[in-house]
Structure 1
Amino acid sequence: MPLRVDVGTEPIPGYRLLTFLGEGGFGQIWKAEAPGGVEVALKFIRTTDKKAETELRALNVIRNIRHPHLLEMHFAVHVEDRLIIATSLCDRSLSDRFEECLAAEMPGIPREELLRYMRESAIALDFLNESRHEVEPGRTIGIQHRDIKPQNIFLVGGSVKVADFGLAKALHSGAGSHSGAMTPWYTPPETFHYSIASTSDQYSLAVMHYQLRCGELPFRGNVQQYVMASLTEDPVLTALPEKERDVIARALSKEPADRWPSCESFVEALTRAIAIDDESGLMPHLAQPASNQRAEPPDEEVNSVRTLGRDALHPYIDIESFLLASKETGEERRRVRASRLASTSQPVPLFEHGSDSSRDCPWNPGADSDREPPLFNPLGVSGPVMKVRREVITNTVGMKLALIPAGSFSMGSNSGPDGEKPVHQVHISQPFYLGKTAVTQGQWTAVMGTEPWKGEKYGEYVREGADYPATYVSWEDAMEFCRRLSARDARVYRLPTEAQWEYACRGGTTTEYAFGDSASDLSAYAWFRDNTWGIGEGYAHPVGQKKANGFGLYDMHGNVWEWCADWYGESFYTASPTSDPSGPPKGLIRVNRGGSWSNSAWDCRCADRYGNSPGYRLFYLGFRVASPAGTE
């Protein structure tokens, strides 16, 4: 008997349909009231439609996958002639947001706002793509979404949720294949050759970004002309500044191997390009959509895909099988990361040295000294004796700070991405104290009287307790903490510079990690993906539980990303001062260091660099404080 789907009905006992939300290629979507008055979304697919089989296979792949930026699936059931899938209810899609901007006579979604959506989408897609999702005992796979478009990226409380996994495809080593009906405007060229790659979603993400930013698509013409252009022509990206065009063009490469290593590295390169344009005074002037180019094709053009023939547009014809595709193998993917812009539709202000923002930097070690810094070997071969300074001090909130001697070291890594190069000699001219651990929740509350980690939407990724690191703390919050602690203790506290942080992290070593070059021993020193996510403990852990480095510092690798005082500069190392560098004079994002519990071992290296906008808060962001070393 056919199932009745209408307002007021309960297709599942206790789930009353409230509002019809829309219909797409993979079924109808309804808002429903669940038991307890909670509102959810229900998707209905007829079991007589072969799309139901495709959807079921996708659900079988992704049913146990959880991530803050993936739409939560509650359950899937067969009722009469329908497959019903229950998910969390979203506020709106990026397509809806784009329409709002067009109605306001804007060319697209504001730049910084869109970058935040892109960044969160990229994090989710890279998470899917990693070969870490267990489909059966002893067998893990990576997954490509394969239908990234504005209608499938949703917003919940301003944060992204990637949804609609009807085309999700597992990736494993071997020959790649493609099947299913995709959306032509966002489809990568390799699908026309019956294949898919680990960078296929990146291509779709790049098309989506250009459309939402500029109000047009990167190729011209009706659907057939558009598809042929995507296979044979360079994209038309003239609505963007030149630096951004280069980044988008690489993501839209015809050959998957020529694209960025990951979705995150693509978005981070895009953010760096925007920062470079801003630093040089080249502000973007976005063009209006060409008169013959519509950002959203009409139904008749989409329908015309079905009439072009199997040979012309194979990927858009319904193909029966749901086959495994390839994942590129070889050297471990090395993510190029630099910047993440956060939740504001207004540009992050640029501060010059000497402006009012100098209040944020009450201590600049060595800034008033012209003398050559002493060459001090932290391993004890030579150097000044500092008997008048205590090795460890404890302040009024019980925070222990270790004395870090003055000295010199090689900063950066030749084995990392461009932002870590070149390796260059840096002198730290003055000793300083640095927190032995990240600031804890107990210490934060004692100084600030608040608990910013409480009540956040990703609460499942936070544990509470006095010894857990304080998270959901922005750079601005961390600086305010330093100001208040300074007033409380009558002692200057601030964030370490990026150079101070790496010097302290290395603890006198020259290797990738403070204990050597191999990540095989990282679990003894750090909380990172393998010993958190990997064992069902996806959250930051209490500080100081792992081994300390050569300077007696804990958790410099992993647990939480740590804010530094500096603006991030992708090419700063090429012209960095030799003595006490403090980063570029202006910028869009502030430096993060150390990796976190949710990151890979590679992301936790001493030289690894990262960044976020100064106002950004999330469950993996924390900090530790520094203080100048006087005569205690």
Structure 2
Amino acid sequence: MLDQMMKMLEGQQINSYRLNKFIGAGGFGGVFHASEIVRNTSVQEVAIKVIPESSDDKLIELQNARKLEHSNLIKAYSVGEFRFLNTEMLYLVMELAQGSLENHIQKGGLSSGEIKNITAQVAQGLNYLHGQNKVHRDLKPGNILRVNQQYKLADFGLIRTLNNKSHTQTVHNSGTIIYMPPEAFKGDISSAWDLWSLGIMLIEMTTNQLPYKFNNDINQLMAKVMNCELQIPSLPKEFKPIIEGCLQKDRKQRWTAQQVLNALQPVQQAEAAVRMPVSPIPPIASPTPFTEKLANGIRLEMVSLPAGKFLMGSSDSDYEKPPHQVKVNSFAIGKYPITQAQYQAVMGNNPSHFKNNPQNPVENVSWNDAKAFCQKLSRITGKTYRLPTEAEWEYACRAGTTTRYYFGDDDNQLGDYAWGRENSNNKTHPVGQKKPNAWGLHDMSGNVWEWCEDDWHDSYAGAPDDGTAWIDNDNRSQSLKCLRGGSWYYFPYYRRSAHRGRFIPVYLNFNFGFRVACVSPGL
């Protein structure tokens, strides 16, 4: 019945989201691959969980899921409600995964290194969850999803907060029986539940077998689980202590997620030393600011950056691979995105959608518009202004860092540095209000996407390593152009230092702006 209703929702529009395809049911609802639509254009792909009820308890549950923030938990973006076939429904917008651990296991051939990596990521997610006084209760390979190269815990339909009554709550029909601990049938809920499930998954990953024989008889399986009648195959030596620690019958003797991480840590440190990327070469000099005078007292603040090398790209997305070292010559780049006041001073008009403050970044500009601005600015100043290349933009954004963002990896800090979906109130904001990066550049993440000089390519295979623009000479006017930095409208993933966007050069949008670059003075 649930599947039938969910299939009927395919193609439906709920608020700004179009439900493209029903992926599957689970955790009291259905999950869809969906597109967020703005002006009849898909601006990003997401997953949406639809729950055919709208009780206050369920709404609170979804709102609580939104508050969980960790790199090994599927990110929940927003909660909403709608009506379909006279049924009030809730929905949760989440980041879209590319696959699951279940898919990976079914394909076979998990290496020891892959198992360690996946186990560590699951344990890190659990360690955070348990630290928030939460228990997942439905940990299984199908609920461990892969987002780019990262594994994340998903499907929070059964998550419960521990309290004084936790050990007497009933759990009928919850979870997947084969991964449930013996105490589940007594209603005993604790963080040890999840560690048992991890132990069962580890057996499955290392041996491609499950520790119960039950001939498809669900009652027989339940009896074996309740009585802890495990039939454990021969285990690899390196994983045996962890599995045995997770599968202690007495939940009070069971390992914690931190103990699992501690057991894996020596191996991970050794592997990390082998995999460590080439370190960026420190800049040879400090950034130097200078100012251009425009019309009507308007100024353009620039920052000269030193030459250097850096690691461009990441393993988070195929579009960002392969990470590669790039040498960049000295150049200057705008301290801020071009503002509406600056655009007005140079071009004599302001095409922006958000016109409440002239210090807001100019937006609603195409790549062609940005190029025209650079040409006119060059005539005014006598210098050659242009759009930054992709390599220059990322070099400037990272400012010597190799982390996901130019301040680190924790997107909980992103609000201090960037305007985005979670704090922008759906509009742009005056430039320079957020913290700069280490080179004094503001708004490199969020506020507006920024056009770059390069033509779009689906990966960095064959990319220049000298910081120049990667341009296809044929049919240049129709080539997709690169955008960087994300905007006020986008979620944290799209505002990483390595993230890449693209659009046709004539397209304008109130998410799209730019900043300018030029050869450093004196060179």
TM-score (ref. length: structure 2):
0.50
Identify the residue that residue 346 of structure 2 maps to in structure 1: 447
Instruction: Read off the aligned partner of 2:323 and give its amino acid letter.
Output: V
Give 1:392 deviation, angstroms: 2.7
| Percent identical | 35
Q: How many residues align?
A: 308
1:99-498 matches, cutoff 5 A? 120=40, 122-123=42-43, 126=46, 136=56, 138-140=60-62, 170-171=90-91, 330-331=144-145, 333=147, 377-378=282-283, 383=284, 390-396=288-294, 397-414=298-315, 416-429=316-329, 431-454=330-353, 462-498=354-390
Cα distance between partner residues in 1 of 2:437 and 2:286 = 21
Cα distance between partner residues in 2 of 1:404 and 1:439 = 18
Structure 1's 125 and 522: CA in aligned 2 closer, same or farther, altered over 3 A?
closer
Secondary structure of the residue that 2:385 maps to in structure 1?
A: coil
Structure 1's 68 and 475: CA in aligned 2 closer, same or farther, altered over 3 A?
farther
Identify the residue that residue 501 of structure 2 maps to in structure 1: 610
**1:307-340 Cα shifts (integer Å, max 9, x gaps):** xxxxxxxxxxxxxxxxxxxxx854585599xxxx
Give 1:546 deviation, angstroms: 0.5
Give 1:377 deviation, angstroms: 1.6
Contact kept in structure 2, 1:69 and 1:121, CA below 8 Å:
no
Give 1:169 deviation, angstroms: 5.8
Cα distance between partner residues in 2 of 1:446 and 1:117 = 34
Structure 1's 566 and 527: CA in aligned 2 closer, same or farther, altered over 3 A?
same
Instruction: Give the counterpart of 1:575 among 462, 468, 471.
Output: 462
Contact kept in structure 2, 1:129 and 1:198, CA below 8 Å:
no
Instruction: Give the counterpart of 2:422 among 502, 523, 530.
Output: 530
Give 1:520 deviation, angstroms: 1.9
Cα distance between partner residues in 2 of 1:541 and 1:335 = 33
Instruction: Read off the aligned partner of 1:624 and give its amino acid letter.
Output: R
Give 1:580 deviation, angstroms: 2.2
Contact kept in structure 2, 1:482 and 1:495, CA below 8 Å:
yes
Cα distance between partner residues in 2 of 1:574 and 1:165 = 46
| Worse-superposed segment, 503-512 or 462-471 | 462-471
Cα distance between partner residues in 2 of 1:118 and 1:66 = 11
Identify the residue that residue 509 of structure 1 maps to in structure 2: 401
Instruction: Read off the aligned partner of 1:404 and give its amino acid letter.
Output: L
Instruction: Read off the aligned partner of 1:600 and give its amino acid letter.
Output: F
Identify the residue that residue 224 of structure 1 maps to in structure 2: none
Contact kept in structure 1, 2:484 and 2:501, CA below 8 Å:
yes
Cα distance between partner residues in 1 of 2:440 and 2:50 = 34
* Aligned: 1:552 with 2:440: yes
Contact kept in structure 2, 1:427 and 1:580, CA below 8 Å:
yes
Contact kept in structure 2, 1:496 and 1:565, CA below 8 Å:
yes
Secondary structure of the residue that 1:399 maps to in structure 2?
A: strand
Structure 1's 168 and 140: CA in aligned 2 closer, same or farther, altered over 3 A?
same
**1:565-590 Cα shifts (integer Å, max 9, x gaps):** 0001013x121222123114256210
Identify the residue that residue 311 of structure 1 maps to in structure 2: none
Contact kept in structure 2, 1:141 and 1:170, CA below 8 Å:
no
Cα distance between partner residues in 2 of 1:582 and 1:483 = 17
Contact kept in structure 2, 1:376 and 1:384, CA below 8 Å:
no
Contact kept in structure 2, 1:413 and 1:423, CA below 8 Å:
yes
Structure 1's 444 and 198: CA in aligned 2 closer, same or farther, altered over 3 A?
closer
Identify the residue that residue 430 of structure 2 maps to in structure 1: 542
Instruction: Give the counterpart of 1:563 among 451, 467, 477.
Output: 451
Q: Which consecutive segments of 4 or more residues in structure 1 shift more than 3 A?
A: 65-70, 115-131, 134-142, 163-173, 328-336
Identify the residue that residue 266 of structure 2 maps to in structure 1: none
Cα distance between partner residues in 2 of 1:540 and 1:123 = 17
Instruction: Read off the aligned partner of 2:385 and give its amino acid letter.
Output: Y
TM-score (ref. length: structure 1):
0.42
Contact kept in structure 1, 2:393 and 2:452, CA below 8 Å:
yes
Give 1:552 deviation, angstroms: 0.6
- Consecutive unaligned residues in structure 1, runs of 5 or more: 1-53, 71-114, 143-162, 174-196, 203-249, 259-327, 337-374, 455-461
Give 1:511 deviation, angstroms: 1.2
Contact kept in structure 1, 2:456 and 2:482, CA below 8 Å:
yes
Structure 1's 135 and 546: CA in aligned 2 closer, same or farther, altered over 3 A?
farther
Give 1:627 deviation, angstroms: 1.1
Cα distance between partner residues in 2 of 1:507 and 1:584 = 25
* Aligned: 1:623 with 2:514: yes
Give 1:140 deviation, angstroms: 3.4
Contact kept in structure 1, 2:36 and 2:46, CA below 8 Å:
no
Cα distance between partner residues in 1 of 2:38 and 2:373 = 30
**1:240-277 Cα shifts (integer Å, max 9, x gaps):** xxxxxxxxxx99xxx9x99xxxxxxxxxxxxxxxxxxx
Cα distance between partner residues in 2 of 1:585 and 1:130 = 43
Identify the residue that residue 28 of structure 1 maps to in structure 2: none
Instruction: Read off the aligned partner of 2:311 and give its amino acid letter.
Output: S
Give 1:127 deviation, angstroms: 8.0
* Higher RCO, Cα 8 Å, sep 6+: 1
Secondary structure of the residue that 1:377 maps to in structure 2?
A: coil
Cα distance between partner residues in 2 of 1:470 and 1:172 = 32
Structure 1's 130 and 123: CA in aligned 2 closer, same or farther, altered over 3 A?
farther
Secondary structure of the residue that 2:405 maps to in structure 1?
A: coil
Structure 1's 129 and 335: CA in aligned 2 closer, same or farther, altered over 3 A?
farther
Contact kept in structure 1, 2:281 and 2:310, CA below 8 Å:
no
Structure 1's 329 and 116: CA in aligned 2 closer, same or farther, altered over 3 A?
closer
Cα distance between partner residues in 2 of 1:487 and 1:526 = 32
Give 1:548 deviation, angstroms: 0.6
Cα distance between partner residues in 1 of 2:36 and 2:15 = 20
Cα distance between partner residues in 2 of 1:618 and 1:117 = 13
Instruction: Read off the aligned partner of 2:520 and give its amino acid letter.
Output: A
Give 1:450 deviation, angstroms: 1.5
Structure 1's 483 and 121: CA in aligned 2 closer, same or farther, altered over 3 A?
closer
